Amino acid sequence: MSYHSYQIRSREQYDLAYKKSIEDPEGFWADVASNFQWQRRWEKTLEWNFEEPKVRWFSGGQLNITENCLDRHLAERGDQPAIVWEPNNPEEDYRVLSYKELHFKVCQFANVLKNNGLKKGDRVCIYMPMIPELAIAVLACARIGVIHSVVFGGFSAQSIADRIQDAQCCLVITADGAHRGNKEIPLKAVIDDALVQCPSVRKVIVLTRTRVPVSMIKGRDSWWEDEIRKVETQGNPACTAEVMDAEDMLFILYTSGSTGKPKGVVHTCGGYMVFTNYSFVNVFQYQPGDVYFCTADIGWITGHSYIVYGPLSAGATTLMFEGIPTWPDAGRFWEIVDKFKVNILYTAPTAIRSLMGFGLDFVKNKDLSSLRVLGTVGEPINEEAWHWYDENIGKGRCPIVDTWWQTETGGILISNLAGITPAKPAHATLPLPGVQPILVDEKGEELKGNSISGNLCIKFPWPSIIRTTYGDHERCRQAYFATYPGLYFTGDGALRDEEGNYRITGRVDDVLNVSGHRIGTAEVENAINMHTGVVESAVVGYPHEIKGQGIYAYVVYNGGSHEMSLVSKDVVQTVSRIIGPIAKPDKIQFVSGLPKTRSGKIMRRILRKIAEGELENLGDTSTLLDPAVVEEIKKGKL
Ligand code: 7RM
């Protein structure tokens, strides 16, 4: 029996699948979708227009994604590990949850949520460490049709409050604290700070992890463990899966764009399930019994799609790691690969570059022979890092999949298929079946042929495309469908080589990619401008050896006579408070003014060049209001 009938096993099969997916997209995806467990079959495979935009896949179909991730595996692999969990501290015991156990725990926690009055369509914010209970909480929401909004542990109270308010969440699931390397993050205290601004939240469920002292407010806060005991006394451990329409919302995940306010990207049940599963099975070439390790955090889309939903819907064993790559030492990933005989490793270029810097001593004594497939995601991978990964981790015998995709795409759109289609260093290579990328020039004209570069758009919907931005559909249209009418615009620039392979070169909008995390320059500027004494600021990215991009801030300050090195630290602290530590500027240069056009627009192009160290050839500066300011900025460059 073949495990997944739609798994592509040769180059010829890829070519055929791709061809069919272009000629008959509906037939193609209907065939794939038939492999899942539907409570009712869909009536119309696809309805769409990119003008509103409106995209509906499998409409009329009914399903619950957790039945596909859990129930349908019970008969054949109920005892197989679903989640293997490695704690932050290697001395602590690891955990293994079989599909049976995971199913039980998800149903149990879904009953906890029901006990607390939650029903289909309600929104829940999840702010938790990387422990199995995070996956359980996510799946428990999906079980009863509650929309989850997971917030990454590196965001501040203010960021959490903004997200909770935007989605009007009524319940928060968190933990007392989180272990990350030798640090402890006081999750519950951060939530307490956030909730001062969030009247929609009536209940907080707190899991014990670090057992740091926390305040527990009567009537609002309760312990996860107590809630579980309550459902245990109620007897019936089952929880019928809520019937969901294919286009019902599954989750919201906030992501940064070029405006100051993060957008709530909305994914729906049917298409997201089909595409995350299809891309998982094909890109990584998952085989029965493989141990698959994605090092991302579930707080990001990579964790949603390729730790939880993709692998579990495929009946895979997914390894979850609570800690960080460099603790207790820089050999931690390799130790985990060795310990659990990991077959497929999916990580980020920033992690590879950072570990590269620690040298080969940490790799030498680890047995990495179980590895068969390597993957990267999050940002362009430079050739040096690619070769280091290939030679020292893959030992030259593991295909590397360079997977390009976005929060908005839900799953991998451009990537080689491991061992099936050829890899090319620093190239994401070819589109997955069903994906129709095109390059356009500034005016939106399609650039045909190969050996060309332009802005990357997609001209046809795939099943896990963003449906809307929560509460503001017009914003979704503006951000993704208005720049080039009739196309989904990715915000990335790309080139297509002589053989049709894509190489993604990076964002062409005001979005930074810092260690694979998307951060809007406007967001950081808003945070900086909140600091007392700051008049205005401009934030740009610059090449950073490990993070890919670093954050460079130009700040106009008139807060009186202070030690500027201290003011600089205060500004960093303000950003950390307002957005979170992940958005801290790496460099702050105080300037007397910003280069502006006569109409008052900041000339970021110039600031970007200076931050990149390119002090000559700043391009056309004739429209500048005050050219002298550029000379001053050049002199003060950090
Ligand atoms: C999955 C994820 C999306 C942005 C995207 C790109 C960049 C992601 C690659 C990449 C070059 C890659 N979602 N990006 N993968 N650039 N090669 N393989 O990262 O929403 O957080 O970020 O990340 O700029 O637009 S995300």
Contacts of 286 (CB under 8 A, 6+ apart): 4, 280, 292, 311, 314, 316, 344
Spacing, Cα 510 to ligand 1 middle (Å):
14
CA atoms lying within 13 Å on the CB side of residue 212: 14
Spacing, Cα 413 to ligand 1 middle (Å):
11
Instruction: Provide the residue type at 339 as one letter.
Output: K
Report the distance separating Cα 247 and Cα 267, nearest Å. Answer: 9
pLDDT in tens, 358-405: 999 999 999 999 999 999 999 999 999 999 999 999 999 999 999 999
Spacing, Cα 227 to ligand 1 middle (Å):
38
- In whole numbers, what is the pLDDT of the chain averaged over residues? 97
∠ CA 504-506-512, rounded to 5°: 155
Full DSSP string of 209-265 = SS-------TTTEEEHHHHHHHHHHH-----PPPPEETTSEEEEEEE--SSSS-EEE
pLDDT for 240 beyond 50 = yes
pLDDT for 171 beyond 90 = yes
Burial, 631: exposed, middle or buried (Cβ in 10 Å; 0-12, 13-18, 19+)? exposed
As a dihedral over the C-alpha atoms of residue 327, residue 209, residue 172, residue 264, rounded to 10 degrees, the angle is: 10
pLDDT for 183 beyond 50 = yes
Spacing, Cα 346 to ligand 1 middle (Å):
14
pLDDT in tens, 199-239: 999 999 999 999 999 999 999 999 999 999 999 999 889 99
Report the distance separating Cα 500 and Cα 429, nearest Å. Answer: 8
* Length reported for the chain: 638
Spacing, Cα 377 to ligand 1 middle (Å):
6
Report the distance separating Cα 530 and Cα 174, nearest Å. Answer: 28
Ligand 1 atom at minimum distance from 428 CA = 18
Instruction: Provide the residue type at 342 as one letter.
Output: V
Q: Whose CA is nearest to atom 4 of ligand 1?
A: 406
State whether the beta carbon of 504 lies less than 6 angstroms from ligand 1. Answer: yes
Structure tokens at 64: 């619950």
Ligand 1 atom at minimum distance from 402 CA = 18
Contacts of 184 (CB under 8 A, 6+ apart): 177, 178, 210, 212
Ligand 1 atom at minimum distance from 302 CA = 1
∠ CA 282-512-422, rounded to 5°: 25
Average pLDDT over residues 460-484: 98
Instruction: Please report the pLDDT score of residue 626 as a whole number.
Output: 86
Q: Give the C-alpha distances (Å, rounded to integers) separating 60 from 21, 57, 68, 322.
A: 22, 9, 18, 39
Domains of the chain from N-terminus onward: 4-409 (3.40.50.12780), 437-507 (2.30.38.10), 511-635 (3.30.300.30)
Instruction: Please report the pLDDT score of residue 54 as a whole number.
Output: 98
Q: 610, 637 in Cβ contact below 8 A?
A: yes
Spacing, Cα 306 to ligand 1 middle (Å):
14
pLDDT in tens, 476-498: 999 999 999 999 999 999 999 99
Spacing, Cα 480 to ligand 1 middle (Å):
15
pTM: 0.96
Average pLDDT over residues 77-86: 98
Pocket test for ligand 1, best of 382, 405, 458 (most atoms within 8 A of CB): 405
State whether the beta carbon of 378 lies less than 6 angstroms from ligand 1. Answer: yes
Burial, 20: exposed, middle or buried (Cβ in 10 Å; 0-12, 13-18, 19+)? middle
Q: 429, 403 in Cβ contact below 8 A?
A: no
Structure tokens at 120: 């289909």
State whether the beta carbon of 304 lies less than 6 angstroms from ligand 1. Answer: no
State whether the beta carbon of 406 lies less than 6 angstroms from ligand 1. Answer: yes
Spacing, Cα 504 to ligand 1 middle (Å):
9
Spacing, Cα 115 to ligand 1 middle (Å):
39
Average pLDDT over residues 88-117: 98
pLDDT in tens, 545-595: 999 999 999 999 999 889 999 999 999 999 999 999 999 999 999 999 999
Percent of the residues in the chain that have a pLDDT greater than 70, as a whole number: 100
Instruction: Please report the pLDDT score of residue 2 as a whole number.
Output: 47
Q: What's the farthest any 2 CA atoms get from each other in the chain?
A: 76
Instruction: Please report the pLDDT score of residue 228 as a whole number.
Output: 98
pLDDT band of 252, cuts 50, 70, 90: very high
Spacing, Cα 305 to ligand 1 middle (Å):
14
Instruction: Please report the pLDDT score of residue 627 as a whole number.
Output: 86
pLDDT in tens, 114-154: 999 999 999 999 999 999 999 999 999 999 999 999 999 99
Ligand 1 atom at minimum distance from 490 CA = 25
Q: Whose CA is nearest to atom 7 of ligand 1?
A: 379
Spacing, Cα 112 to ligand 1 middle (Å):
36
State whether the beta carbon of 402 lies less than 6 angstroms from ligand 1. Answer: yes
| Short-list 36, 488, 80, 83, CA closest to 276 | 36
Determine which helix (DSSP H) or strand (DSSP E) holds 587, and give its type and residue range.
strand 587-591
State whether the beta carbon of 506 lies less than 6 angstroms from ligand 1. Answer: yes
State whether the beta carbon of 380 lies less than 6 angstroms from ligand 1. Answer: yes
3-state secondary structure 600-626: CCECHHHHHHHHCCCCCCCCCCCCECC
State whether the beta carbon of 491 lies less than 6 angstroms from ligand 1. Answer: yes
State whether the beta carbon of 404 lies less than 6 angstroms from ligand 1. Answer: yes
pLDDT in tens, 22-33: 999 999 999 999
State whether the beta carbon of 507 lies less than 6 angstroms from ligand 1. Answer: yes
Spacing, Cα 418 to ligand 1 middle (Å):
19
Q: Is 137 helix (H, G, I), strand (E, B) or coil?
A: helix
State whether the beta carbon of 255 lies less than 6 angstroms from ligand 1. Answer: yes
∠ CA 260-481-255, rounded to 5°: 35
> In sequence order, what are the beta bridge partners of 236?
none
Spacing, Cα 411 to ligand 1 middle (Å):
11
pLDDT in tens, 416-448: 999 999 999 999 999 999 999 999 999 999 999
